[in-house]
Amino acid sequence: MRVLTSWMRPLALALGLAAAGACAAPAVQVTTAQGAEQGGAPAWQAPPNAQLPFAVTGKAKGFAFNASAQLQWQVADGRYEAVQEVRMPLLGGRRQSSVGQVTEHGLQPEVFIDRARKEYRVSFDAAAGQIVFSRGSAPAPWAALTQDRVSAFFQVGGMLAAAPRAYPGGTRITVQAASNKSVKPWVFVIDRQETLQLPAGPVAALKLLHLDADNAEAGAQASHSALWLAPQWGYLPVRIRMEESANDSLDLQLQTVPQELRGMPSTQPVTR
């Protein structure tokens, strides 16, 4: 991942580093482990509504720290709202939110807001065929299913929930995701199912490696960033690990099981 020299480095890690490279259609691509591209728009199933609290550990320029985060996901009446907020000592906080429509193939963001010291607003204008950034960047071409830094997690989770057998180990899911200045690809590689020992307790989860431009060509072995989704909870995120270097890293782990998910087994295996 590219080195970030400003004080914002830990926050950028916490909330996702987009891969470098130009936006390319289609906005969601699925490639098998053998390199064959799967055609057609993906099936999608909404994960259950939940507010997920996370315990955060990490390093910033070699100094260890602890923090907290919250990931909120709500779907109702054909629309969704996703909010991700991280509160960090000394550095303050950062809040990212995404709202838009729910379609049979996934999420169609309308507005993405990224607020820390400054506020950035991204508008997805389907009618005009462009994505507009509030702070000076040139508009990017709009394509159906283009995501943002928050909605991308739920787009991928919903695809897995709708058709888990369609994504065996080694499958690559590439999602075009808007940050506050541009649209770039995020690549997720299906790895394996694990039982995580989290602050919330043992949780069965599917591990996806998160590749960026620096390691996408090198392969999954080069990635130190990963996302764990819980199949028994509709593929909601339960752990997010991002590592830029040995001295700059973040690990978000589910702190407690939210009320909405209690009563659902946390370690029940899911057939894939």
pLDDT, tens digit, 9 for 90 and up, residues 114-127: 998 899 999 999 99
Helix (H, G, I), strand (E, B) or coil at 222: helix
pLDDT at 63: 81
Q: Is residue 195 part of a domain?
A: yes
pLDDT at 90: 72
What rounded mean pLDDT belongs to the chain? 86
Percent of the chain clearing pLDDT 90 (strictly above): 65
The one-letter code for the residue type at 137 is S
Q: Is residue 108 part of a domain?
A: no
Q: Is residue 245 part of a domain?
A: yes
Helix (H, G, I), strand (E, B) or coil at 164: helix
Residue range 198-212: average pLDDT?
A: 94
Residue range 77-99: average pLDDT?
A: 91
pLDDT at 216: 55
pLDDT at 254 exceeding the cut of 60: yes
**Lowest mean pLDDT segment, chosen from 36-45, 115-124, 257-266:** 257-266
Q: Is residue 172 part of a domain?
A: yes
pLDDT at 111 exceeding the cut of 90: yes
Measuring CA to CA, which residue among 199, 264, 254, 203 is closest to residue 53? 254
pLDDT at 271: 55
Distance from the first to the final alpha carbon of the chain: 31
Q: Are 107 and 120 in contact (CB under 8 A)?
A: no
pLDDT at 20: 37
Backbone angles phi, psi at 25, to 5 degrees: -85, 150
Q: Is residue 85 part of a domain?
A: no
Rounded distance between C-alpha atoms, residue 266 and residue 157, angstroms: 17
Query: CB-based burial of residue 139 (10 Å sphere; 0-12 exposed, 13-18 middle, 19+ buried)?
Result: middle
Tokens of 148: 């943002």
Domains identified in the chain, total number: 1
Q: Domain limits at 15?
A: 9-69+147-261
DSSP 246: T
Q: Is residue 91 part of a domain?
A: no
Measuring CA to CA, which residue among 90, 131, 98 is closest to residue 114? 98
Higher per-residue pLDDT: 103 or 22? 103
Residue range 155-174: average pLDDT?
A: 97
Higher per-residue pLDDT: 23 or 64? 64
Q: Is residue 93 part of a domain?
A: no
Q: Is residue 210 part of a domain?
A: yes
Q: What is the pTM of this model?
A: 0.86
